[in-house]
Amino acid sequence: MLACASLPHSLWSSKEHKEGREQGLEKRRGWAVEHKKGDRLIARLGDREILSYRYSPEAPKTYIHPLTTPNGVVVTEDSPEDHRHHRGLFLGWSRVNGYDFWGEFGEENQGWIVQTHWDGLSTNDWVRWTVRLRWRAGGRTLLNERRSLAATVWDRGLFLEWTSVLSAPAEMVVLDASQHPYNGLGIRFVREMTKGDVLHSDGTSAIQEANGRSGEWCSYFREMDKDRVVGAALFSHPSSARHPCPFFVMNDPFGFISAAPTFHEPLTIATGQFVSLKFGIFVYDGVAEKERLNGVYQRWVGT
Protein backbone atom coordinates (compact mmCIF):
# COMPACT_ATOMS: atom_id res chain seq x y z
CA MET A 1 0.00 0.00 0.00
CA LEU A 2 1.42 3.45 -0.87
CA ALA A 3 1.92 5.79 2.05
CA CYS A 4 2.77 8.88 0.02
CA ALA A 5 3.93 10.15 -3.35
CA SER A 6 7.41 9.12 -4.45
CA LEU A 7 9.59 12.14 -5.23
CA PRO A 8 13.22 12.57 -6.35
CA HIS A 9 15.62 12.75 -3.42
CA SER A 10 17.25 15.83 -4.94
CA LEU A 11 14.18 17.92 -4.16
CA TRP A 12 14.86 17.53 -0.44
CA SER A 13 17.74 18.13 1.91
CA SER A 14 18.64 14.89 3.69
CA LYS A 15 17.09 16.20 6.93
CA GLU A 16 13.89 17.34 5.19
CA HIS A 17 13.64 14.02 3.36
CA LYS A 18 13.99 12.01 6.57
CA GLU A 19 11.51 14.17 8.49
CA GLY A 20 9.01 14.13 5.62
CA ARG A 21 9.18 10.35 5.29
CA GLU A 22 8.71 9.88 9.03
CA GLN A 23 5.56 12.03 8.97
CA GLY A 24 4.15 10.33 5.87
CA LEU A 25 4.29 13.71 4.14
CA GLU A 26 5.55 14.64 0.67
CA LYS A 27 5.87 18.14 -0.82
CA ARG A 28 6.33 19.46 -4.32
CA ARG A 29 5.27 22.65 -6.12
CA GLY A 30 3.00 23.78 -3.31
CA TRP A 31 1.16 20.48 -2.77
CA ALA A 32 1.58 18.45 0.40
CA VAL A 33 0.11 14.96 0.54
CA GLU A 34 -0.39 12.97 3.72
CA HIS A 35 -1.64 9.40 3.69
CA LYS A 36 -3.16 8.02 6.87
CA LYS A 37 -3.21 4.37 5.89
CA GLY A 38 -6.58 2.67 6.03
CA ASP A 39 -8.40 5.95 6.61
CA ARG A 40 -7.78 8.93 4.35
CA LEU A 41 -5.55 10.79 1.91
CA ILE A 42 -5.17 14.51 2.66
CA ALA A 43 -4.02 17.04 0.04
CA ARG A 44 -2.91 20.51 1.11
CA LEU A 45 -1.76 23.66 -0.59
CA GLY A 46 0.75 25.16 1.78
CA ASP A 47 -0.74 24.60 5.22
CA ARG A 48 -4.36 24.64 3.97
CA GLU A 49 -6.28 21.38 3.62
CA ILE A 50 -7.92 21.40 0.19
CA LEU A 51 -9.46 17.93 0.13
CA SER A 52 -9.53 14.68 2.04
CA TYR A 53 -10.27 11.39 0.29
CA ARG A 54 -11.81 9.03 2.89
CA TYR A 55 -11.89 5.29 2.48
CA SER A 56 -12.21 3.85 5.98
CA PRO A 57 -13.96 0.44 5.94
CA GLU A 58 -16.22 1.73 8.72
CA ALA A 59 -18.33 3.66 6.16
CA PRO A 60 -20.35 1.94 3.39
CA LYS A 61 -18.78 4.12 0.70
CA THR A 62 -15.66 6.14 -0.01
CA TYR A 63 -15.94 9.91 -0.46
CA ILE A 64 -14.22 13.29 -0.38
CA HIS A 65 -14.68 15.73 2.49
CA PRO A 66 -13.79 18.45 3.00
CA LEU A 67 -13.69 19.85 -0.51
CA THR A 68 -12.64 23.49 -0.49
CA THR A 69 -11.94 26.44 -2.72
CA PRO A 70 -8.28 27.50 -3.06
CA ASN A 71 -9.07 30.28 -0.57
CA GLY A 72 -10.06 27.69 2.00
CA VAL A 73 -13.87 27.90 1.92
CA VAL A 74 -15.35 24.46 2.64
CA VAL A 75 -18.31 23.70 0.35
CA THR A 76 -19.17 20.11 1.38
CA GLU A 77 -21.17 18.67 4.27
CA ASP A 78 -20.44 15.23 5.72
CA SER A 79 -23.29 13.15 7.16
CA PRO A 80 -25.69 15.95 8.20
CA GLU A 81 -28.58 15.17 10.54
CA ASP A 82 -31.23 15.38 7.80
CA HIS A 83 -29.47 12.90 5.47
CA ARG A 84 -26.72 11.01 7.31
CA HIS A 85 -25.75 9.15 4.13
CA HIS A 86 -24.80 12.37 2.30
CA ARG A 87 -21.01 12.27 2.32
CA GLY A 88 -19.42 15.37 0.82
CA LEU A 89 -18.57 14.39 -2.77
CA PHE A 90 -19.53 10.76 -3.36
CA LEU A 91 -20.59 8.19 -5.96
CA GLY A 92 -23.50 5.85 -5.38
CA TRP A 93 -26.78 4.30 -6.52
CA SER A 94 -29.90 3.38 -4.56
CA ARG A 95 -30.76 0.27 -6.56
CA VAL A 96 -28.01 -1.99 -7.88
CA ASN A 97 -29.62 -5.35 -8.56
CA GLY A 98 -31.87 -4.65 -5.59
CA TYR A 99 -29.12 -3.47 -3.21
CA ASP A 100 -28.62 0.04 -1.85
CA PHE A 101 -25.24 1.69 -2.48
CA TRP A 102 -26.53 5.20 -1.74
CA GLY A 103 -28.16 5.01 1.68
CA GLU A 104 -26.32 3.67 4.71
CA PHE A 105 -28.94 2.30 7.04
CA GLY A 106 -30.30 -0.73 5.24
CA GLU A 107 -30.01 -4.20 6.69
CA GLU A 108 -30.44 -7.08 4.27
CA ASN A 109 -30.18 -4.84 1.20
CA GLN A 110 -27.23 -2.67 2.30
CA GLY A 111 -24.37 -2.47 -0.19
CA TRP A 112 -20.75 -1.60 0.61
CA ILE A 113 -18.20 0.03 -1.68
CA VAL A 114 -14.94 -1.35 -0.32
CA GLN A 115 -11.49 -0.14 -1.32
CA THR A 116 -9.11 -3.06 -1.89
CA HIS A 117 -5.94 -1.64 -3.48
CA TRP A 118 -3.90 1.48 -4.12
CA ASP A 119 -2.61 1.43 -7.70
CA GLY A 120 -0.72 4.71 -7.65
CA LEU A 121 -0.12 8.09 -6.03
CA SER A 122 1.96 10.95 -7.46
CA THR A 123 2.35 14.72 -7.26
CA ASN A 124 3.57 17.41 -9.64
CA ASP A 125 1.25 20.17 -10.87
CA TRP A 126 -1.47 17.63 -10.08
CA VAL A 127 -2.08 15.29 -7.18
CA ARG A 128 -3.08 11.97 -8.77
CA TRP A 129 -4.19 8.72 -7.21
CA THR A 130 -5.77 5.52 -8.45
CA VAL A 131 -7.56 2.90 -6.38
CA ARG A 132 -9.53 -0.29 -6.88
CA LEU A 133 -12.84 -0.97 -5.19
CA ARG A 134 -15.50 -3.67 -5.01
CA TRP A 135 -19.23 -3.05 -4.78
CA ARG A 136 -20.29 -5.89 -2.47
CA ALA A 137 -23.72 -7.02 -1.30
CA GLY A 138 -25.44 -10.29 -0.56
CA GLY A 139 -22.11 -12.03 -0.02
CA ARG A 140 -20.82 -11.34 -3.53
CA THR A 141 -19.13 -8.68 -5.67
CA LEU A 142 -21.57 -7.02 -8.05
CA LEU A 143 -19.14 -4.51 -9.52
CA ASN A 144 -15.43 -3.97 -9.72
CA GLU A 145 -14.30 -0.36 -9.96
CA ARG A 146 -11.02 1.26 -10.93
CA ARG A 147 -11.19 4.87 -9.77
CA SER A 148 -8.70 7.52 -10.86
CA LEU A 149 -8.72 10.97 -9.27
CA ALA A 150 -6.57 14.02 -9.97
CA ALA A 151 -6.59 17.52 -8.48
CA THR A 152 -4.97 20.79 -9.54
CA VAL A 153 -5.63 24.53 -9.47
CA TRP A 154 -7.04 26.19 -12.57
CA ASP A 155 -8.44 29.69 -13.05
CA ARG A 156 -8.56 30.51 -9.31
CA GLY A 157 -10.44 27.29 -8.60
CA LEU A 158 -9.78 23.72 -7.52
CA PHE A 159 -10.24 21.30 -10.40
CA LEU A 160 -10.79 17.62 -9.63
CA GLU A 161 -11.09 14.89 -12.25
CA TRP A 162 -13.02 11.75 -11.25
CA THR A 163 -12.99 8.66 -13.48
CA SER A 164 -14.75 5.45 -12.45
CA VAL A 165 -14.46 2.40 -14.68
CA LEU A 166 -17.11 -0.13 -13.63
CA SER A 167 -17.24 -3.76 -14.67
CA ALA A 168 -19.60 -6.62 -13.82
CA PRO A 169 -17.51 -9.72 -13.08
CA ALA A 170 -20.18 -12.39 -12.66
CA GLU A 171 -23.68 -11.18 -13.57
CA MET A 172 -25.48 -8.43 -15.43
CA VAL A 173 -25.85 -5.35 -13.23
CA VAL A 174 -28.50 -2.64 -13.51
CA LEU A 175 -27.97 0.81 -12.00
CA ASP A 176 -31.53 1.94 -11.44
CA ALA A 177 -32.47 5.42 -10.26
CA SER A 178 -36.14 5.39 -11.27
CA GLN A 179 -37.19 6.48 -7.78
CA HIS A 180 -33.96 8.31 -7.00
CA PRO A 181 -33.04 10.52 -9.98
CA TYR A 182 -30.21 12.16 -8.01
CA ASN A 183 -28.09 8.97 -8.02
CA GLY A 184 -24.60 9.27 -9.52
CA LEU A 185 -21.77 11.58 -8.47
CA GLY A 186 -23.23 14.00 -5.94
CA ILE A 187 -22.17 16.98 -3.82
CA ARG A 188 -23.95 17.83 -0.58
CA PHE A 189 -23.33 21.50 0.15
CA VAL A 190 -22.84 23.15 3.52
CA ARG A 191 -25.89 24.69 5.19
CA GLU A 192 -24.69 28.21 4.32
CA MET A 193 -25.13 27.40 0.62
CA THR A 194 -28.85 26.57 0.91
CA LYS A 195 -31.09 28.48 -1.51
CA GLY A 196 -28.26 29.02 -3.93
CA ASP A 197 -28.40 29.66 -7.66
CA VAL A 198 -27.73 27.50 -10.70
CA LEU A 199 -26.19 27.98 -14.13
CA HIS A 200 -26.43 25.28 -16.80
CA SER A 201 -24.14 25.06 -19.81
CA ASP A 202 -27.03 25.95 -22.12
CA GLY A 203 -27.60 29.18 -20.18
CA THR A 204 -30.52 27.99 -18.05
CA SER A 205 -30.51 29.67 -14.63
CA ALA A 206 -33.78 28.37 -13.16
CA ILE A 207 -33.52 25.41 -10.77
CA GLN A 208 -36.69 23.75 -12.06
CA GLU A 209 -35.52 23.94 -15.68
CA ALA A 210 -31.92 22.88 -15.00
CA ASN A 211 -32.96 19.82 -12.97
CA GLY A 212 -32.80 16.77 -15.24
CA ARG A 213 -31.40 18.72 -18.18
CA SER A 214 -28.47 17.18 -20.05
CA GLY A 215 -25.43 19.25 -20.86
CA GLU A 216 -21.69 19.70 -20.69
CA TRP A 217 -21.79 21.18 -17.19
CA CYS A 218 -23.97 22.54 -14.44
CA SER A 219 -22.93 24.89 -11.63
CA TYR A 220 -24.37 25.65 -8.18
CA PHE A 221 -23.25 28.77 -6.31
CA ARG A 222 -24.21 31.00 -3.42
CA GLU A 223 -23.33 34.42 -2.08
CA MET A 224 -22.01 33.46 1.36
CA ASP A 225 -21.82 37.05 2.61
CA LYS A 226 -21.21 40.47 1.13
CA ASP A 227 -18.64 40.33 -1.67
CA ARG A 228 -18.03 36.58 -1.26
CA VAL A 229 -19.44 34.05 -3.74
CA VAL A 230 -18.45 30.38 -3.84
CA GLY A 231 -19.68 27.51 -5.96
CA ALA A 232 -19.03 24.16 -7.58
CA ALA A 233 -19.58 23.01 -11.14
CA LEU A 234 -19.88 19.42 -12.36
CA PHE A 235 -18.56 18.66 -15.87
CA SER A 236 -19.45 15.75 -18.14
CA HIS A 237 -16.57 14.43 -20.29
CA PRO A 238 -17.30 13.47 -23.93
CA SER A 239 -15.82 10.01 -23.27
CA SER A 240 -18.18 9.32 -20.37
CA ALA A 241 -21.15 7.00 -20.63
CA ARG A 242 -24.40 8.91 -21.19
CA HIS A 243 -22.63 12.10 -22.27
CA PRO A 244 -23.96 14.77 -22.29
CA CYS A 245 -24.96 13.89 -18.76
CA PRO A 246 -28.24 14.87 -17.11
CA PHE A 247 -27.80 16.84 -13.89
CA PHE A 248 -29.84 16.83 -10.71
CA VAL A 249 -29.90 20.08 -8.76
CA MET A 250 -31.87 21.45 -5.81
CA ASN A 251 -31.42 24.37 -3.40
CA ASP A 252 -34.10 23.93 -0.70
CA PRO A 253 -34.19 22.66 2.08
CA PHE A 254 -30.50 22.15 1.28
CA GLY A 255 -28.15 22.53 -1.67
CA PHE A 256 -27.32 19.44 -3.70
CA ILE A 257 -26.06 18.76 -7.22
CA SER A 258 -25.17 15.55 -9.00
CA ALA A 259 -24.04 14.26 -12.34
CA ALA A 260 -26.88 11.80 -12.78
CA PRO A 261 -26.43 9.55 -15.83
CA THR A 262 -29.46 7.41 -14.85
CA PHE A 263 -31.79 10.37 -14.27
CA HIS A 264 -34.02 9.32 -17.19
CA GLU A 265 -33.33 5.59 -17.58
CA PRO A 266 -31.36 2.77 -15.92
CA LEU A 267 -27.85 1.86 -17.01
CA THR A 268 -27.17 -1.82 -17.70
CA ILE A 269 -23.67 -3.29 -17.44
CA ALA A 270 -23.39 -6.72 -19.06
CA THR A 271 -21.17 -9.42 -17.61
CA GLY A 272 -17.58 -8.65 -18.59
CA GLN A 273 -18.48 -5.19 -19.91
CA PHE A 274 -16.59 -2.04 -18.86
CA VAL A 275 -18.43 1.28 -18.43
CA SER A 276 -16.50 4.50 -17.88
CA LEU A 277 -17.93 7.48 -16.01
CA LYS A 278 -15.72 10.56 -16.24
CA PHE A 279 -16.57 13.84 -14.54
CA GLY A 280 -14.86 17.07 -13.58
CA ILE A 281 -15.51 19.08 -10.45
CA PHE A 282 -14.58 22.77 -10.36
CA VAL A 283 -14.78 24.40 -6.93
CA TYR A 284 -14.35 28.14 -7.15
CA ASP A 285 -14.26 31.49 -5.41
CA GLY A 286 -15.97 34.48 -7.01
CA VAL A 287 -18.59 34.76 -9.69
CA ALA A 288 -18.33 32.04 -12.35
CA GLU A 289 -20.04 33.26 -15.46
CA LYS A 290 -20.70 31.07 -18.47
CA GLU A 291 -17.57 32.24 -20.28
CA ARG A 292 -15.34 31.30 -17.34
CA LEU A 293 -16.90 27.86 -16.90
CA ASN A 294 -16.81 27.16 -20.63
CA GLY A 295 -13.12 28.05 -20.61
CA VAL A 296 -12.35 25.61 -17.80
CA TYR A 297 -14.43 22.91 -19.46
CA GLN A 298 -12.69 23.31 -22.84
CA ARG A 299 -9.28 23.30 -21.17
CA TRP A 300 -10.18 20.02 -19.45
CA VAL A 301 -11.55 18.16 -22.47
CA GLY A 302 -8.59 19.39 -24.51
CA THR A 303 -6.00 17.85 -22.17
**Tens digits of per-residue pLDDT, 113-167?**
999 999 999 998 999 999 999 999 999 999 999 999 999 999 989 999 999 999 9
pLDDT at 225: 80
**Are residues 240 and 224 in contact, defined by beta-carbon separation less than 8 angstroms?**
no
Nearest residue to 242 (alpha-carbon basis) of 273, 275, 207, 208: 275
Name which CATH class applies to 64-301: mainly beta
111-119 long-range contacts (CB < 8 A, ≥24 apart) are 111/60, 111/135, 111/136, 111/137, 111/142, 112/60, 112/61, 112/136, 112/137, 113/60, 113/61, 113/62, 113/145, 114/57, 115/55, 115/57, 115/62, 117/1, 118/1, 118/2, 119/146
pLDDT for the residue 28: 41
Q: What is the C-alpha to C-alpha distance for residues 34 and 120, in angstroms, rounded to an integer?
A: 14
CA angle 65, 68, 72 (to 5 degrees): 130
- The pLDDT score that the predictor gives to residue 121 is 95
Q: What is the mean pLDDT of residues 168-197?
A: 95
pLDDT in tens, 7-25: 222 222 333 333 343 344 4
Q: Is 135 left (phi over 0), alpha (psi -120 to 50) or beta?
A: beta
At 184, the amino acid letter reads G
pLDDT band at 256 (very low <50, low <70, confident <90, very high): very high
